[in-house]
Amino acid sequence: MEYTYDFFKTSADYVREKIGFEPEIGIILGSSLGPLADEVEDPVVIPYEEIPNFLRSTVSTHAGKLICGKLAGRKVVCMSGRFHYYEGYEFEQLTAPVRLFHLLGCRACILTNAAGGVNLDYKPGDIMLIRDQIVLNGASPLRGKNLPEFGPRFFDVQKMYTPSLRQLALECGEGSGLTFHEGTYFYMTGPHFETPAEIRAIRILGGDAVGMSTVTEALTAAHCGMPCLAFSVITNMAAGVLDQALTDEEVNETGKTVSERLCRYLKKVLERM
């Protein structure tokens, strides 16, 4: 299918009409980070199914709602639940969330995810601020006909994880009770967790954390010139590091243990953005 500018605009027009304000920051909440959405003041909640031309969440731990309102004094639009290639979406479809933010007028986005720790200095519960990404197995979400209303055909991605926002995020981390790293996110398509051999290869290639999301959203933000800040919650050590099976339960449990501190921290970041 070929997507047009009007295709995305239809979604944004519907949301704009419903919320009646222009959000400043778009936030995508990953696994178990949903509690932040509960703190949005005067929320207007829109289930994804209601939004024309938008996608549907198929993962049970992802709520599938857009929550719009005020958080830490900022007007935000929060996606509680995101979309992944492993759900059956094409890479091109995964531009929808950030294009929605852009069309609603957001001036920056914050992306969060759960990821496996590849770097042996990381521990479950640590936070990795994403400095850069590696995508070797997947297509660009910007393939196909370019839509110049969003951005140019070819575009620079060297600073897609905006350096000034990373600096701000590190400063806000002091006293948060969370342990921060800055590192490289390595994308794997999933839905299976990786093999130990894949993780050894990822480590050699320079990946610090591994996960199944975020890169498409960051690329879409870079395409439309939107500053982007992204965090991984290290929910487990990646395959082969420990002699134990990887499970969705472990990912969700670790997510829950940090979610309160992370929510408090993200609000501090938002205040200063």
Q: Give min distance, CB of 271 to ligand HPA, in A.
A: 28
**116 touching ligand HPA, by CB under 6 A:** yes
Whole-Å CA distances, 39 to 43, 145, 182? 9, 39, 27
Using the rule CB under 6 A, which residue among 114, 129, 258, 270 binds ligand HPA? Answer: 114
Q: Classify residue 136 by its DSSP letter.
A: S
Per-residue binder mask for ligand HPA (CB under 6 A), 72-111, x = binder: ----------------------------------------
C-beta of residue 72 within 8 angstroms of C-beta of residue 30: no
Binds ligand HPA (CB under 6 A): choice among 109, 224, 246, 273: 246
Contact in structure between 261 and 176 (CB atoms under 8 Å): yes
Q: With CB under 6 A as the contact rule, which of the stretches 78-86, 153-161, 164-172, 235-243 interacts with ligand HPA?
A: 235-243
- The pairing of beta strand 108-117 with beta strand 209-211: antiparallel
Q: Binder to ligand HPA among 141, 211, 220, 224 (CB under 6 A)?
A: 211
Cβ closer to ligand HPA: 54 or 122?
122
User: Are the CB atoms for 189 and 181 separated by under 8 Å?
Assistant: no
Q: What kind and span of H or E run contains 57?
A: none
Rg of the chain (C-alpha set) = 17
Residues 141-200 that bind ligand HPA (CB under 6 A): 188, 193-194
Q: What are phi and psi of 195, to 5 degrees?
A: -85, 160
Rounded Cα–Cα distance for residues 211 and 232 (Å): 9
Near ligand HPA by CB under 6 A: residue from 76, 103, 109, 238: 238
Nearer to ligand HPA (CB atom), residue 11 or residue 213: 213
Q: Report residue 134 as tokens.
A: 């590696």
Instruction: Give CA angle at 183 (58, 73), nearest 5°.
Output: 65
Report in angstroms how near the CB of residue 241 gets to ligand HPA at its nearest: 9
* Binding residues for ligand HPA, total number by CB under 6 A: 14
What residue ranges bind ligand HPA (CB under 6 A)? Answer: 114-116, 188, 193-194, 210-212, 235-236, 238, 246, 251
